[in-house]
Structure 1
Amino acid sequence: MALSISSSSTATKSLGFVQASDFQKLSSPTVLVSLKRYTPRNLAVKATGSTYGNFFRVTTYGESHGGGVGCVIDGCPPRVPISEADMQIDLDRRRPGQSRITTPRKETDTCKIYSGVADGLTTGSPIHVNVPNTDQRGHDYKEMSVAYRPSHADATYDMKYGARSVQGGGRSSARETIGRVAAGALAKKILKLKCGTEILAYVSQVHKVILPEDLVDPETLTLEQVESNIVRCPDPEYAEKMIAAIDAVRVKGDSVGGVVTCIARNVPRGLGSPVFDKLEAELAKVMMSLPATKGFEFGSGFTGTFLTGSEHNDEFYTDKSGRIRTRTNRSGGIQGGISNGEVINFRVAFKPTSTISKKQNTVNRDKEEIELIARGRHDPCVVPRAVPMVEAMVALVLVDQLLAQYAQCELFPINPSLQEPL
């Protein structure tokens, strides 16, 4: 129903609603309630939330058991060298069926660029990337067509839309992230070519196995270290412990969660903005948009609450080249919502996979209490495959902020005593 604070039809029209009849007066003579729904005339609504970015805009599409998934990238600068092979590297890191601790679904996730690239260079027009689905098994989801998986999006999708794609969870499936990873590969390349920026994520926790922070040097960490084992933990000893923890629940039809830590090196100073669009706020938003995420911790995070100001502050100094640096990095490379040139670091918590093959209590669409044993092929732990997803989303944030910095602060000559050229 729609409310009007005036009894006159003129006032009702001024709110932008179509005139409707059948008003019923309430106790106040100035309040009218329509018994019919109004149709907004001038109300713009962002309905789907499938697009991220202001300058480098990425829209993902597709569902887990549909014909395919992918993305459209709009706003990419022209003349950036990119190929399907460049994108395939990260898509292979994300794809299912890559080891015994991931879902056994077999997909090659082979990408195809349909527009926006000519002779190996971006043209400045929208870039369309598609990945076909080839190993769907819709019959695995028969029970879930009416029963709601505990802690899954099944129930809330029905509550919001009144309809949903049952097979594979539709848009709530992690296959939606294929478009993000493909776009992220392009964003990574732009950042690397323009700024020398490197983005690396790794698994720092699986269930109760926690990698000590001092075992990883954010200044020297390499992709080869991360990719040296199937769980994507850069320390071999802790990697084996994490794999064992996943195996222990996998054979029981259960699941566990974990934490992905991410660093970004050589990030230009000045990216981000104050107040509502702080750089760490943008990072938090995109991380929490990934499937199964439950927490985001930046810089010193919650441990910083145990320190005093004198213990927590990152003191400034001037290095041998004359650049202003910080002796510590509890700020995580961002101060006041703006990057300061130090290594950006944060952690993302992922919950245990909600679809498990153990018996659980739930309800169906008829509100009857039932028992559910979910079938299908699902990850016993999402964090090994979440690593390239996290990297991709960081890249999308940073490249969007890089273009924003050019638009706002590089139009006129910079102040060389305070600013560094991009």
Structure 2
Amino acid sequence: MGNSFGKVFKISTFGESHGKGLGVIIDGCPAGLPIDEEFIRAELQRRKPGQSKITTQRKEEDECQILSGVFEGKTTGTPISIVILNTDQKSKDYSHIADKFRPSHADYTYYEKYGVRDYRGGGRSSARETAARVAAGAVAKLLLGHFGVKINAFVSQAGQIKLEKPYQELDFSEIEKNIVRCPDPKVAEDMIEYIDEIRKSRDTIGGVVTCVAQEVPPGLGEPVFDRLHAELGKAMLSINAVKGFEFGSGFEGVIMRGSEHNDEFYQEGDRVRTKTNHSGGIQGGISNGEDIYFKVAFKPVATIMKDQQSVNEGGESVTVSGKGRHDPCVVPRAVPIVEAMTALVLADYLLLNRLSKLEPKG
């Protein structure tokens, strides 16, 4: 259980870090959607390992194959299955922790839940699972693009280095021009230098990814328990290493008075707008047509190249030595994952919204 996500646009992912491969089945995608396979591959390239000196050096090309659900370049309305084969597993790198629990990893909790665990790279608990999500998210982006919805995520913090500018002052075309995926070139240089220093010290650091969804139509959201921001929160918190989620004014909003925080309405042509957007584009759990924006906090990568104390499956004290290939900071590669999960939520709720009210006759 727990490997499926969505209600109408529904995905189920499968596979492990060091297994034969990973994949996803997408059910509920409408028929007739043009599928750009090169776009899907490009999205996977943004997430793949081995991109730069500040990411893991595992070399996976993450080439995908669409096995079903697409005919002559368009979706058929039947389940879409996509597979991504693993080609650069080095399982021997993990033989030294076959019976040991790595600090802050899922080794112990998986062992307690299932009585068995795949110690090779963490198995199903590895962030490599997110490759399947990115493939599915690419299809969701193609669907959203049909309705004019745009999603951009970027690194806004690495350790103590923060991007202070509001997103409205940023040029999103700069995001992919540097290896840390920060749209401010000067801040990006500082982040890269800082992350590389952390890497050289054989340690890791966390960070924050900010996401902005624009041109989202009003009316998306299913109160009361499936509010749009609640589903976005669930989606983000399902990503490996995520420790926090806030949308709109977030925690900073608590210091504002209601008179400051309220977003006043005005009419612009045939559209109702708000003068400010402290609500983050969502009110009452339903999108209001303004930009949806939120932040996602990622903890430091748990595997460090230093000795740590732990226990093994027999309860004996052991030393765990960091080996293998790992990211010193996960946020540069997390950007496309955050975008993918955002796209999956919005695609699902857009299709759900078509079921919420009767269209007028005639």
Query: Fold conserved (TM > 0.5)?
Result: yes
Q: Which residues in structure 2 correspond to 1:24-63 (within 5 Å)?
A: 48-63=1-16
2:285: which partner in 1? 337
Q: Deviations over 1:85-110 (max 9, x none)?
A: 12101100000001000000000000
Shift of 1:84: 2.3
- In 2, are the aligned partners of 1:143 and 1:374 still within 8 Å (CA)? no
Distance in 1, Cα, partners of 2:36 & 2:282 = 32
2:168 corresponds in structure 1 to 217
How far, CA to CA, are the matches of 2:164 and 2:10 in structure 1? 37
Structure 1 unmatched runs, 5+: 1-47, 415-422
The alpha-carbon deviation at position 323 of structure 1 amounts to 1.6
Counterpart residue type for residue 202 of structure 1: F
* 1:108-145 residue CA offsets vs partner (Å, 9 max, x unmatched): 00000000001000001111100000000001001221
- Opposite residue 240 of structure 1, the aligned amino acid is E
Q: What residue is the counterpart of 1:412 in the other structure? A: 359
What's the CA shift for 1:73? 0.5
Alignment of 1:95-134 (within 5 A): 95-134=48-87
Distance 1:270 1:55 in 2: 16
Cα distance in structure 2, aligned partners of 1:412 and 1:119: 31
Q: What is the Cα-based RMSD across aligned positions, in Å? A: 1.1
Superposition misfits of 4+ residues, deviation over 3 angstroms: none
Matched residues in 2 for 1:259 and 1:301: separation? 14
Kindly indicate whether structure 1 or structure 2 has the higher relative contact order, using CA contacts under 8 Å at least 6 residues apart. Answer: 2
Question: Quick one: which of 297, 309, 312 aligns to 1:364?
Answer: 312
1:207 aligns with 2:159: yes
Unaligned runs of 5+ in 2: none
Q: CA–CA distance in 2 between the matches of 1:399 and 1:221?
A: 25
Q: Which amino acid aligns with 1:209?
A: I
The AA in structure 1 aligned to 2:177 is S
Show CA shifts across 1:282-302 (max 9, x none). 000000000000000110000
Matches of 1:115 and 1:398, distance apart in 2: 23
Paired AA for residue 308 in structure 2: Q
Q: Deviations over 1:14-72 (max 9, x none)?
A: xxxxxxxxxxxxxxxxxxxxxxxxxxxxxxxxxx2000011011000000000000100
Distance in 2 (CA, whole Å) between partners of 1:221 and 1:254 is: 31
| TM value normalised by structure 1 | 0.84
Contact map agreement 1:87 1:182 (CA 8 A) in 2: yes
Structure 1 residues 3-24: Cα deviation after superposition (integer angstroms, max 9, x where no partner) = xxxxxxxxxxxxxxxxxxxxxx
Distance in 2, matches of 1:395 and 1:281, equals: 15
1:412 shift after superposition = 2.3
Give the 3-state SS of the residue equivalent to 1:58 in structure 2: strand
**TM-score of the aligned structures, taking structure 2 as reference length:** 0.98
Counterpart check, 1:182 vs 2:135: yes
2:101 alignment counterpart: 148
- The code of the aligned residue for 1:353 comes to V
Mapping of 1:274-353 within 5 angstroms? 274-319=223-268, 321-353=269-301
Secondary structure (helix, strand or coil) at the match of 2:225 reads helix
Q: Distance in 2 between matches of 1:164 and 1:395?
A: 31
AA aligned to 1:142 is S
Provide the aligned length of Structure 1 versus Structure 2. 361
CA distance in 2, matches of 1:274, 1:57: 19
Higher-Rg structure is 1
Residues 331-369 of structure 1: per-residue CA shift (max 9 Å, x gap) = 000000000000000000000000111111111111111
